[in-house]
Chain A
């Protein structure tokens, strides 16, 4: 074995090992994040966290009940905007659309998807906060809703396209009109993928902070209705994390754990559902 070959073999082993190190490093980053939050967040997670309102500075025993509910309300509003447009838009692209218009819609949807989330916040600010002269759950919900649209459209379209042509033809041949075929055969067959897509996009916007900073803003108390500033988990994590108080830091960890657990659960759950195959099992 010549010197050169020996050298090449060493390089081979070293470089390949390095790639393994890279992969290991990246994977361990996730476990580190998870472990850190489980440790520090777990310690601070108690009943008070889920049930109490934020306490005045310096007082112990505060919680994030209003933020948890607030996040829920914001997601509800976001879904009202994002799910119908996303679903119906996806149906259009998969079933009804013509080539050029579909291309334009898809391209623009992708562009919207890549827009920085803070820009969505500015958008909602100009449309809702300025005319109404105050922050509100509406504004926050709108910002998040617009963010939901592109992913919902994409996953709906892909799930529908995955339904085989022969299934559609079977329905058409029985004398079903086009929309009935779509509604009674194609969508039920694709429903798994569609629902997981919506779950994933909800998980994504649930963790967004930037669009809420000047739309929903925040609230240390319960927000009545939909027209007031409203607290949310991500914004609380941000505020508490940046603060100077240990008690607030601890609550930030707890909130971070809750948020991360929900987001990961949605993602892992979605993967499970889809990995059972885009199977055409009994619907």
Chain B
């Protein structure tokens, strides 16, 4: 499945009568997005565009809403009762709230903060996503597993132990396994929620490198606490504070010449 670099653009469903073509260089867009946990408003009027084929980092102090926002993009908030978004989020011009959530999650994958491999073998972990989609052929699965593991820079290390338990490998390797697992279903977007926070610097470096190499095949949005990581790895950065998106721009701009004082304070470490 090849990622759609849509030459054929899709009109948004909400344009007031005027069909605005969907630009090819934007993958997802949030417009006027609010988010509520019960009565409490966690996100205020987020307007953000995720560029196609790039790595976008979301930074900000704890509790600022960046993870909340990330989890809206693949509708993972639905596991929490009383969680409600208001506003618009579009994937290639389609409203994600109308899409079949299962289909959405195949297109928008997620890697979590702590590695969470299933209690199965390495092979079965990666094949899981494929199997639930009905792909069963042994040869097809084996090829797909190898492809994903190579993309996650893990193949050489585990190719001889594919049938060992996923818990038998190190934390850093498990996280790459989770990345491989997410990549196996060939998502268009990959969401990463502080993927390196539980890992040592070497494992972190490996993951940052493989993310860079993934830009050709998917768009990435990564939430991170680590500003150096954002500066190193991301093309674009968004700064969140208290449920609002304060600033969003090319990473170089955010870090060298931030437009807002709050951004500058955070970058220079005055708080957070």
User: Using Cβ atoms and an 8 Å threshold, which residues of chain A touch B182?
Assistant: 173-174
The answer to whether B121 and A282 touch across the interface, beta carbons within 8 angstroms, is yes
User: Using Cβ atoms and an 8 Å threshold, which residues of chain B touch A176?
Assistant: 102, 128-129, 132
Q: Does A167 contact B (CB under 8 A)?
A: yes
B119 contact from A172, A174, A180, A188, Cβ within 8 A: A188
The answer to whether A173 and B119 touch across the interface, beta carbons within 8 angstroms, is no
Q: Does A169 contact B (CB under 8 A)?
A: yes
The answer to whether B102 and A177 touch across the interface, beta carbons within 8 angstroms, is yes
User: Using Cβ atoms and an 8 Å threshold, which residues of chain A touch B76?
Assistant: 169, 172-173
Q: Does A83 contact B (CB under 8 A)?
A: no
Q: Does B51 contact A (CB under 8 A)?
A: no
Mask for B106-128, Cβ within 8 A of A = 1, else 0? Answer: 10011010101111110000001
Mask for A139-166, Cβ within 8 A of B = 1, else 0? Answer: 0000000000000000000000000111
User: Using Cβ atoms and an 8 Å threshold, which residues of chain A touch B117?
Assistant: 170
Mask for A180-215, Cβ within 8 A of B = 1, else 0? Answer: 100011001100000000000000000000000000
Q: Does B178 contact A (CB under 8 A)?
A: yes
Q: Does A4 contact B (CB under 8 A)?
A: no
CB distance from B13 to the nearest CB of A (A): 23
The answer to whether B116 and A174 touch across the interface, beta carbons within 8 angstroms, is no
Q: Does B165 contact A (CB under 8 A)?
A: yes
The answer to whether B118 and A167 touch across the interface, beta carbons within 8 angstroms, is yes
User: Using Cβ atoms and an 8 Å threshold, which residues of chain B touch A180?
Assistant: 132
User: Please, which residue of chain B has its CB at the minimum distance from the CB of A99?
Assistant: B81
Q: Does B263 contact A (CB under 8 A)?
A: no
CB-CB under 8 A for A174 and B120, given A169-B79, A180-B132, A184-B132:
no
Mask for A259-283, Cβ within 8 A of B = 1, else 0? Answer: 0000000000000000000001111
Q: Does B181 contact A (CB under 8 A)?
A: yes
A interface residue count range (under 10 / 10 to 19 / 20 to 34 / 35 or more): 20 to 34
CB-CB under 8 A for A281 and B119, given A175-B106, A175-B185:
yes
- Inter-chain CA distance A283–B167, complex, in Å, is 11
The answer to whether B119 and A175 touch across the interface, beta carbons within 8 angstroms, is no
User: Using Cβ atoms and an 8 Å threshold, which residues of chain B touch A184?
Assistant: 128, 132
User: Using Cβ atoms and an 8 Å threshold, which residues of chain A touch B166?
Assistant: 282
Number of interface residues of B (CB under 8 A): 30
User: Using Cβ atoms and an 8 Å threshold, which residues of chain B touch A171?
Assistant: 118, 128
Total A-B residue pairs with C-beta atoms closer than 8 Å?
Answer: 79
User: Using Cβ atoms and an 8 Å threshold, which residues of chain B touch A280?
Assistant: 119, 167
User: Using Cβ atoms and an 8 Å threshold, which residues of chain B touch A174?
Assistant: 105-106, 109, 128-129, 132, 181-182, 185
The answer to whether A185 and B118 touch across the interface, beta carbons within 8 angstroms, is yes
Q: Which of A172, A184, A185, A283 has the most CB of B within 10 A?
A: A172
- Inter-chain CA distance A167–B174, complex, in Å, is 13
A175 contact from B79, B102, B116, Cβ within 8 A: B102
Q: Does B133 contact A (CB under 8 A)?
A: yes
B129 contact from A166, A175, A282, Cβ within 8 A: A175
CB-CB under 8 A for A282 and B128, given A174-B105, A175-B105:
no
User: Please, which residue of chain A has its CB at the minimum distance from the CB of B108?
Assistant: A173
CB distance from A129 to the nearest CB of B (A): 46
The answer to whether B119 and A282 touch across the interface, beta carbons within 8 angstroms, is yes
User: Using Cβ atoms and an 8 Å threshold, which residues of chain A touch B109?
Assistant: 173-174
The answer to whether A283 and B133 touch across the interface, beta carbons within 8 angstroms, is no
- Inter-chain CA distance A176–B132, complex, in Å, is 7
- Inter-chain CA distance A175–B112, complex, in Å, is 15
The answer to whether A169 and B112 touch across the interface, beta carbons within 8 angstroms, is yes
The answer to whether B110 and A173 touch across the interface, beta carbons within 8 angstroms, is yes
- Inter-chain CA distance A177–B78, complex, in Å, is 12
A172 contact from B79, B164, B181, B185, Cβ within 8 A: B79
Q: Does B52 contact A (CB under 8 A)?
A: no
Q: Which of A171, A173, A185, A280 has the most CB of B within 10 A?
A: A173
Q: List 10 A-B contacts (CB under 8 A).
A: A166-B116, A170-B117, A172-B76, A173-B109, A173-B110, A175-B133, A280-B119, A282-B119, A282-B121, A282-B165
Top 5 closest pairs, chain A to chain B, by CB: A282-B165, A175-B106, A173-B110, A280-B119, A174-B129
User: 14 other contacts beyond A165-B79, A170-B117, A189-B118, with CB at 8 A cut-off?
Assistant: A167-B116, A170-B112, A170-B116, A170-B178, A170-B181, A172-B76, A173-B76, A173-B105, A173-B182, A174-B106, A280-B167, A282-B121, A282-B164, A283-B119
